[in-house]
Structure 1
Amino acid sequence: MPPRRSHKKSRAGCRRCKARKIKCDEVHPRCGNCTKHGVACDFEHPGLADSLTPAETPRPSTSSNCDSPSTSTLPPTPCMDSDTSLPLYRNPETLPLTANTKSSRMMELKLIHHYTTITCETLAISSPVSERIWRNTVPNLAFSGANFLADALLAVSALHLRYHSPQDQELVRASHSYMASTLSEYGASLSKGINESNAEALFLTAALIAFQSTASRIFSRDDSGDLKDRSDGYVLPLSWFHSFQGVKAVVAASWQWLRHSGIVVPIIESQPALNLDLSGQNANFFGHLLDGVEDEIISLEDDLDAQETTRQAYQHAVAVLDWAHKIPHTGAPLVFLATVSRRFVELLETRRPRALAILASYFGLLKCLDSVWWLKGVARREVMGIISLFDPDDEEWWPRLQWPLRIALYEGDVIPPNVWGADWAAETALLEEASHNGNFVSHIELLSQMFTAMQNMPGGPAALDVAVRQTFMSQSRTLNPYALMNDVTHPTP
C-alpha cells in the first residue's frame, strides 16, 4: 500500500468556511464558497469577521424581531442555498438577533400601529377605497398566515418612520431585517408556484417591495454608490423599474385568480384608466422626443425584429408620458414604471440618449407629487442627475431637456398651467372621458392574454416561470440588505 500523502492544514481560510468546517480555496477578495452561495466574505470586508463568529449566533427564535441596540449594526447577510435557483436572503431568525424581548415586541407594535394609522394613507394617491384596503384588509390578510406580507408591512412602516428619524439605527435595522425576511419567504413562495391561495398575498407583497425600492432612494448618500458613483457619476434608479416590472409579472401570471379578488381589483381600478395614443399622428406634448427615431434605430439596430421592438418601446413610453402629463395629480406618472416595456429598460441600461431624455421628462412629471413623503425631492434630484450625463453643447438633446429642467427647478407649491404645458381645468374631463374607454383592468387583461399565449406555446410554462423568477432576482438585488450596509453604518445626516 502506498504511503498516505501528508496533508498540511491551512489556517488562512475565511471565517465563514471555518464556521461551516469546509475547505476554503482562500481566493481573494472573495473565496469560492462565499461567491457560490452569494454571501459576504471577510476577505472582501474584514470588518465582518467578528459578526461571523459561530459563538455569537444563538439558536433561532420563533419570531422575526429587529435588532436591539446591543447587537451588531450590520444588516442581514444575503445567502443562497446550493440547491435553489433563487438568490433568497437568510431569514432574520437565523441571524444574531435578540430573543423575543420586550423591546423587540414593542418595536413590532410600534411599526404596525404606525402602518395602520399613517403609512397606509401614503400608499394610495387620491383613492379612499384603496386606502381603506391598505389600512384594514391587507393587514388582516397578512396576519392570517401570509408571513412575508406581514414582514413587508413592518418593513415599509419602519422605512416611513426613518423618514422622520433618519438617525435611529433601530429603525434602520428593522427596515432592512424585515425586508430581508420578506424577500426570503416571498421568493420561496414564488419558487413553489403561484396559485389561488397565495396570489393576493404575492401581489400585495410585490407592490410593497416596489414601494420600498422607490422610497429607499431618499436615504441614499451621494458617496454610498447609489445616487453617485465616484468613478461613473450619477447612477440611474433602474431598481425602480425592476421592482415595478416585478409587480406586472406577478399580476400577469396570476390574473386568472386576481381578476375576481375583492382586494386586488379595487386597488388596480383606483389607478386612472390608460388612454394612450400610439399612432404618433396627433400633436402631443412629448412628441419631440421621437424626432429622428427612425434614423437612430436603423443606424443602431441591424435586425428588423430588434428595430421594431425598439421603435415600439420608445413610442409606448412617450405615449404614457403624454397621458400622464394631462392628469399628473392622480398619481398617473407612477404607472410609467410598470407599463413601459422591458426593452425600454434595456435602452436605459445602455444609456441611450433618447431613453435618458424620456426618463428625465418622466421625473419632471413627479414634481406634481412632491408633497408625498417618498417622492419629495425626487424630481429635482433625478432630473439634475440625468442632465449631468449630457453635454450642454449637444445641440440635438440639450434643447429637449429644457422642460424637465424648468419643472424640476420651479419654486412654488403649484405649477401654473402655462409652465406645465397642460390645462388643469380639463383634468377632470379627461378622467371622465378615459373612464368611458375602459379602466386599468383592461390593460391587465391584455397583458394576461399575452402571458396565456406564452403558456400555450412549446416551452411556454417554463418561459413564464423563468420570467417571474428573473423578476424576483431583480427585486432581490434591488433591496439587497448587504448592499445597503453603508446606509446602516453611515446614516443620512
Structure 2
Amino acid sequence: MPRLGYTKSRNGCLRCRQRRVKVWLFHPCDEKRPCSACVRHDVRCSLLDNPPPAGGPSRRELPAKPTSAQTAFPYFDKFMLPTGGEREAAWIQDLELMHHYSVVTSHTMPRAQDELHVWQKLAPNLSFKYPFIIHQILAVAAFHMAYLEPERRSELLLLASQHQNRSIEGMRAHLANITTENCHALFMASSLLLVGAFASFANIRSSDSPPQVVVGQRTPTIEDMIDVFILDRGVASVLHSSEPTIHSGYFRDLFHFKAHKRVNPFMEQMVKELRALEDQINQDESISRIVRILVNLEITKLLDAAEKAVRTTKDSEMRVATYWPITIAEDYITLLRQRNEVALLVLVHYCCILYKAEENNWFLKGWGISIASDADKLISPKWRGAIKWPLEQLAQNVAPTS
C-alpha cells in the first residue's frame, strides 16, 4: 500500500529521477518543460532536451506492468545510471576488434616475435592519452579480421575505414605541432597506418591450398604502391626532427637490433641482381643522364637497405620493404608516375623483396606479384633479361576466382 501524500513520478526530468524526487502534494514535479522543480532550483531541465514522442500515450494511460525480469532483482535499480544513448552494437564491435588485436593481430605485427610487448601492451597503453592510436589499432584489427573472415568482409572493411579515418583526423591535429611528448604516439600511429595502408589491399589467402585470391578484393596497382611510398616518406620526413627522441623513447625496443650471422641466400642473390642491373643501366647509352643518375641512386639505397637488414634482423625482407620507401627521392616517384621503364626495373626487384616478406606478414599478401605484373606489361623486350630472376621468384600458383 503506497504511503499517504505522494505518488512516484514516472516521466519526470532526469535530475528529479536521479534525486528520487517524488510528486509531493505541495511541490510537485509536474513534468512541465521545464519542470517546476528545476525552475525553482535554477537548473536546466532535461525535459527540454527530450520532447515527448509524437502520438505517444497520454499521462492518464496506465504504464505497462514491469516484467518479471525487471522486478526480480530490485537491488540493481539504484545503480542504473542515466546514459548518453550510446549504441550497444558499436562498443561491442569495438570490443571484438580489440580482443582480436590483443590475442591475434598483435602477434602478427613487425618484429612481434622479439618485441611483442610493444604491440600488445605499450601501444594500447599510450592510446589512453592519444586516442588516434586506438582508432588505428582497431582499424588494423578490422582489416585483419576481414582478411581472415571473407564472409564478413564488407562489414569489417567499413569498420576499418571508420576507425582509420578518425585516427588520421587525430594525427593531423598533432602533426601540426610535434613535441617530445606526442612524437612517440605519432610514430606508433603512423607505423600502424602503414600496416593499414597495405592491409586494405591484402588479397591473397596463403592459408588456402592452393593460395586463393580473396573474392571481391581489388588488386593493388602501381599507383597504389606510389601512394604507400608517399605516405611512408611523408610521415618519416615530418617526424625526422624527432628521430633521436623516438629512437631512445617509449618504443625504443623496436630500434634495437642484434647482430647475427644468419645466412639469407635470397637477399644475397638479390644484391647480385641489383648490382648487375646497375651495370646494365650504366652501359646503355640510350638512357638519359638524369634518369641514369636517379635510378642508380635508388639502386644504391636499395642495396644499402638490403645489406644492413641482413646483418641486423631475421625478417630482413620486411625491414627492406618498409625502410627503402622512406629513402626514395621524389624525382624517382615522378619517374614511376610516368611509367619510365628503367625506374620500373628497380620497382620489380623491390616487389620481389615485398613478395618474400609476405611469408611472415599477412598485410602484404598479393602486393608483390600484383605490382610486378603491372610493371612487367610496361617493360620492353630489351630489358627482359634484367627482370628474369625477380619474375621467376614471384611465380606462384594462385587459384583464379570463379
* Common topology (TM > 0.5): yes
If the TM-score is normalised by the length of the shorter chain, which range does it land in?
0.5 to 0.7
AA at the equivalent of 2:90: S
Deviation at 1:317, TM superposition (A): 3.0
Could you say if the C-alpha distance between residues 385 and 310 of structure 1 is closer, same or farther in structure 2, counting changes exceeding 3 Å?
Answer: closer
Tell me whether 1:360 sits opposite 2:360 in the alignment: no
Q: Distance in 1 between matches of 2:95 and 2:158?
A: 16
Q: Is the 8 A contact 1:348 1:355 kept in 2?
A: yes
Match of residue 162 from structure 1: 146
Deviation at 1:202, TM superposition (A): 0.6
Match of residue 257 from structure 1: 245
Paired residue total: 294
- Find the partner of 1:172 among 157, 164, 177: 157
Q: Distance in 2 between matches of 1:103 and 1:309?
A: 52
Q: Distance in 1 between matches of 2:175 and 2:133?
A: 13
Q: Is the 8 A contact 2:190 2:235 kept in 1?
A: yes
Q: Is the 8 A contact 1:285 1:322 kept in 2?
A: no
- Find the partner of 1:387 among 355, 376, 382: 376
Q: Is the 8 A contact 1:325 1:333 kept in 2?
A: no
Match of residue 246 from structure 1: 234
Tell me whether 1:284 sits opposite 2:311 in the alignment: no
Q: Distance in 2 between matches of 1:209 and 1:103?
A: 25
Q: Is the 8 A contact 2:146 2:157 kept in 1?
A: yes
- Residues 310-321 of structure 1 aligned to structure 2 (within 5 Å): 311-321=296-306
Q: Is the 8 A contact 2:111 2:254 kept in 1?
A: no
**What runs of 5+ residues in structure 2 fail to find an aligned partner?**
1-48, 50-83, 204-212, 261-270
Deviation at 1:384, TM superposition (A): 1.9
Deviations 1:151-187 (A, max 9, x none): 1111111111111223423312210111111111111
Tell me whether 1:375 sits opposite 2:364 in the alignment: yes
**What runs of 5+ residues in structure 1 fail to find an aligned partner?**
1-58, 60-97, 229-233, 274-282, 413-491
Tell me whether 1:237 sits opposite 2:225 in the alignment: yes
- Find the partner of 2:175 among 169, 190, 209: 190
Could you say if the C-alpha distance between residues 319 and 206 of structure 1 is closer, same or farther in structure 2, counting changes exceeding 3 Å?
Answer: same
Could you say if the C-alpha distance between residues 399 and 324 of structure 1 is closer, same or farther in structure 2, counting changes exceeding 3 Å?
Answer: farther
Could you say if the C-alpha distance between residues 363 and 198 of structure 1 is closer, same or farther in structure 2, counting changes exceeding 3 Å?
Answer: same
- Residues 123-138 of structure 1 aligned to structure 2 (within 5 Å): 123-125=109-111, 127-129=113-115, 131-138=116-123
Could you say if the C-alpha distance between residues 325 and 134 of structure 1 is closer, same or farther in structure 2, counting changes exceeding 3 Å?
Answer: closer
TM-score, with normalisation over the residues of structure 1? Answer: 0.53
Deviations 1:189-225 (A, max 9, x none): 112x100121100111111111111111225999998
Deviation at 1:324, TM superposition (A): 5.4
AA at the equivalent of 1:378: W
Deviation at 1:125, TM superposition (A): 3.5
Q: Distance in 2 between matches of 1:213 and 1:224?
A: 14
TM-score, with normalisation over the residues of structure 2? Answer: 0.64
Deviation at 1:294, TM superposition (A): 4.6
Which secondary structure does the structure 1 equivalent of 2:248 belong to? Answer: coil
Q: Distance in 1 between matches of 2:333 and 2:230?
A: 8
Q: Distance in 2 between matches of 1:378 and 1:308?
A: 27
Deviations 1:308-339 (A, max 9, x none): 56643343234435665897743333222223
Could you say if the C-alpha distance between residues 134 and 110 of structure 1 is closer, same or farther in structure 2, counting changes exceeding 3 Å?
Answer: same
Q: Is the 8 A contact 1:206 1:246 kept in 2?
A: no
Q: Distance in 2 between matches of 1:253 and 1:196?
A: 10
Deviation at 1:354, TM superposition (A): 2.1
- Residues 16-95 of structure 1 aligned to structure 2 (within 5 Å): none
Q: Distance in 1 between matches of 2:284 and 2:258?
A: 34
- Find the partner of 2:125 among 131, 134, 140: 140
- Find the partner of 1:406 among 392, 399, 402: 392
Match of residue 74 from structure 1: none
Tell me whether 1:114 sits opposite 2:100 in the alignment: yes
Deviations 1:64-108 (A, max 9, x none): xxxxxxxxxxxxxxxxxxxxxxxxxxxxxxxxxx96211111011
Which of structures 1 and 2 has the bigger CA Rg? 2
Q: Percent identity?
A: 20
Quick one: higher RCO (CA 8 Å, sep 6+), 1 or 2? 1
Which secondary structure does the structure 2 equivalent of 1:217 belong to? Answer: coil
Could you say if the C-alpha distance between residues 198 and 285 of structure 1 is closer, same or farther in structure 2, counting changes exceeding 3 Å?
Answer: same
Q: Is the 8 A contact 1:214 1:240 kept in 2?
A: yes
Match of residue 333 from structure 1: 320
- How well do the aligned residues superpose, as a CA RMSD in angstroms? 3.5
- Find the partner of 1:100 among 86, 107, 116: 86
Could you say if the C-alpha distance between residues 354 and 324 of structure 1 is closer, same or farther in structure 2, counting changes exceeding 3 Å?
Answer: farther
Match of residue 332 from structure 2: 344
Could you say if the C-alpha distance between residues 271 and 236 of structure 1 is closer, same or farther in structure 2, counting changes exceeding 3 Å?
Answer: farther
Match of residue 256 from structure 2: 269
Deviation at 1:387, TM superposition (A): 0.9
Deviation at 1:362, TM superposition (A): 1.3
